[in-house]
Amino acid sequence: MKTILPHNALSLEKSSPGRRGVRFEPVQKHASAYLPEAYLRKSAPKLPELSEFETVRHFTRLSELNYCLDGEFYPLGSCTMKYNPKAYDFLSALPGFTQVHPLAPESSVQGTLEMLYHFQELLKKVTGLAAFTLQPAAGAHGELTGILTARAYHDARKDFKRTEVIVPDTAHGTNPATAHMAGYTVVNIKSAPDGRVDKAALQQALSDKTAVVMLTVPNTVGLFETDIREIADMVHKAGALFYLDGANFNALAGLVKPADMGADLMHLNVHKSFAAPHGGGGPGAGPVGAAAHVAPFLPKPMVELKNGKYTLSGKMPKSLGKMKAFYGNIAVCLRGYCYLRQFDGTTFRQIAENAILNANYIRAALKGKFNAFFDCICMHECVLSINPAEMNGVHTSDIAKRLLDYGFYAPTIYFPLIVPEAMMVEPTETESKQMMDAFVEAMEQIYTEIQTEPQTVKDAPHTQCVCRIDEVSAAREPNLRW
């Protein structure tokens, strides 16, 4: 049979001159009646010309080429791909929320402001921190907000000699990149052999030049920093602030309050811990919490409750300024608010408990074939490594591609950097035992294939709409537009 159109024809390739997907009412006068000639565009833009039906077909077809959480298990470590409840999609699309202008009179947007205010309050409760801003639009944006808040704090104390940010070598790349963006020098410290912070190395790195220490808890190898309070004390004794990267908050939810660990600042990822969908990479939301002594330096504005009215008009004279044109990613925050309202003080801990149970189940079930690099009980994710001697030349990236053939998305691979051939598996609490058993079985089969037919694994994937992609020539001769 001959295919009529290739599966991935571009919209422009399906285009027919004069075809339209939508029409507007006719105008009385054209642009040239309102604007001088010099201000007009010289030629029409090369946009596709499709009917509405063709457009619907085109994007529906493209959607079918995606793996997605609604369809497949996504064991992506550090990404917390948990179920995104459908009610929140419906609620965040209510016209009462979506059709609101950010500069409309505050009296006309009390519903949105009330929701945001209570979301801030709930985040304070689950973290123990004194204040939360919802302004940051993503986790990395939250990190930058947090580090700039720390900088405003030190600057206000005229403590200008603090020019360094300490980051462990297990950190996400955003941590050092953020510190650099905020104008700091990054000091990397090596981890201890057990994957946790090397306290001696930390002590040696700390000085009166240290502005902030950034830590992810649980850390990126999936372990809790057992000496966290001692570490926080060391940081505080040096006069620095302790920034907690909340990327892995799903493993703390209800178990530990970040404030109790000594955190001065932290960000949360609403699209991870609080079940908002990832949307193919964004938008997210990265609320930042601060302890009382740092809170006045958070970006302005914040939602406040004054005389029974919710307002964004409060003065924040010590604030670092604005991080974003308008206040936060409302549609994402709304989902986070909905999520938190579905738990109470006793059920909230079930999130982390079951995330930890699931990660350890996969770790235990794969033991002997794919071992955890740190052979101990883990938190919400386990970092597997492979023994090159048993692998017949197969690499982690090949295993990742082969998993796609079995109907699973791949784990996070080659991260953290300190683990060779790393595969980081985070099942999250919303996966069932049956789904995890199926994943384990697929991994076992791949293990067998590596021994018996390694080429099958090296050539994977075999079942997707495209085969292994040549990324080298794509990067050498970039084709980034039609």
Partner 1 sequence: MCNEENCRFAKTHEWAHMDGDIATVGISNHAQEEISDIVFVDLPKVGQQVTAGQNCCVIESVKSASEIYAPVSGEVVEVNTALTNDPALVNREPHGNGWLFKIKMSTPAEYENLMDLTAYKATLGK
Partner 2 sequence: MFIPHTKEDRQEMLAKIGVSSVQELLAQIPQDLLYPALDLPRALSEQELTAHVQALAARNKPLKNFIGAGIYEHFIPAAVNALSSRGEFLTAYTPYQAEASQGTLQTIYEFQSCICALTDMDVATASHYDGATALAEAALACLRITGRTEILVSAALHPHYKEVLKTYVRHQPGVCVKEAPLGADGTLDLNALDGLLSAKTACFVLATPNFFGCLEQAEAVSARVHQAGALLTAVFNPIALGVMQTPGSYNADFAVAEGQPLGNAMNFGGPGLGIMTAKKAYMRQLPGRIVGIAKDKNGRRAFVLTLQAREQHIRRERASSNICSNEALCALNAVIYLTLLGPAGLAEVAELNLERAHQLAEKLGQLPGYRVKYAAPFFNEFVLECPVPAKKIIQKLEKKNISAGYALGKDFKGMENCLLVCATETKTEADLQAYADALGGVK
Tell me the closest approach of the beta carbon of residue 172 to partner 1, in angstroms.
Answer: 16
> Which of these segments, 17-25, 192-200, 437-445, 472-480, binds partner 1 (CB under 8 A)?
472-480
> Which of these segments, 201-209, 279-287, 290-298, 386-394, binds partner 2 (CB under 8 A)?
279-287
Question: Can you tell me which residue has the tokens 């189940």?
Answer: 361
DSSP 195: S
- What mask, x for binding partner 1 by CB under 8 A, covers residues 413 to 442? -x----------------------------
CB burial of 164-202 (b: ≥16 within 10 Å; e: otherwise) equals: bbbbbebbbebbbbbbeebebebbebebeeebbbbeebb
The verdict on 480 binding partner 1 (CB under 8 A) reads no
What does the alpha-carbon distance between residue 468 and residue 481 come to, in Å, rounded to a whole number?
22
Is the CB of residue 327 less than 8 Å from the CB of residue 301? yes
The verdict on 471 binding partner 1 (CB under 8 A) reads yes
Is the CB of residue 237 less than 8 Å from the CB of residue 339? no
Tokens of 149: 């808040």
Tokens of 333: 């925050």
Interface with partner 1 (CB under 8 A), residue total 5
Tell me the closest approach of the beta carbon of residue 472 to partner 2, in angstroms.
Answer: 9
> Which of these segments, 231-239, 371-379, 418-426, 441-449, binds partner 2 (CB under 8 A)?
371-379
Question: Contacting partner 2 (CB under 8 A), which of 321, 388, 393, 420?
Answer: 321
Query: Is the torsion defined by CA of 220, 225, 229, 230 positive or negative?
Result: negative
Residue 54: how many other CB atoms lie within 10 Å: 17
Question: Contacting partner 1 (CB under 8 A), which of 472, 479, 480, 481?
Answer: 472
CA dihedral 454, 384, 243, 284 (to 10 degrees): 50
Check residue 262 and give left, alpha or beta (phi > 0: left; psi -120 to 50: alpha). left
Tell me the closest approach of the beta carbon of residue 394 to partner 1, in angstroms.
Answer: 17
Query: Within 1-20, which residues bind partner 2 (CB under 8 A)?
Result: 6, 8, 10-12, 15, 18-20
Is the CB of 32 or the CB of 473 nearer to partner 1? 473
Tokens of 311: 């307002």
- What mask, x for binding partner 2 by CB under 8 A, covers residues 160 to 199? -------x----xxx-xxxxxxxx--x-------------
Query: Within 378-417, which residues bind partner 1 (CB under 8 A)?
Result: 414
Query: Within 377-436, which residues bind partner 2 (CB under 8 A)?
Result: 377, 379, 400-401, 404, 409-410, 415, 429-433
Question: Contacting partner 2 (CB under 8 A), which of 209, 305, 343, 454?
Answer: 343
Query: Within 33-62, which residues bind partner 2 (CB under 8 A)?
Result: 34-36, 38-42, 44-50, 52, 55-56, 58-60, 62
Tokens of 201: 């190395």
Amino acid symbol at 385: S
What does the alpha-carbon distance between residue 355 and residue 358 come to, in Å, rounded to a whole number?
5
Query: Within 80-109, which residues bind partner 2 (CB under 8 A)?
Result: 81-85, 87, 89-91, 93-105, 107-109
Is the CB of 100 or the CB of 201 nearer to partner 2? 100
Residue 455: how many other CB atoms lie within 10 Å: 12
Is the CB of 201 or the CB of 343 nearer to partner 2? 343
The verdict on 137 binding partner 2 (CB under 8 A) reads yes
Tell me the closest approach of the beta carbon of residue 117 to partner 2, in angstroms.
Answer: 11
The verdict on 475 binding partner 1 (CB under 8 A) reads yes
What does the alpha-carbon distance between residue 300 and residue 313 come to, in Å, rounded to a whole number?
9
Tokens of 300: 């302005």
Question: Contacting partner 2 (CB under 8 A), which of 75, 129, 132, 143?
Answer: 143
Tell me the closest approach of the beta carbon of residue 452 to partner 2, in angstroms.
Answer: 22
| Rounded alpha-carbon distances, angstroms, from residue 356 to 1, 247, 266, 409, 426 | 50, 15, 21, 20, 9
If contact means CB under 5 to 8 A according to the sort of partner, which of partner 1, partner 2, none does residue 93 touch?
Answer: partner 2
Tokens of 119: 């979301």
Q: Distance between terminal CA atoms of the chain?
A: 29
> Which of these segments, 71-79, 276-284, 364-372, 468-476, binds partner 1 (CB under 8 A)?
468-476
Residues that bind partner 1 (CB under 8 A): 414, 471-472, 475-476
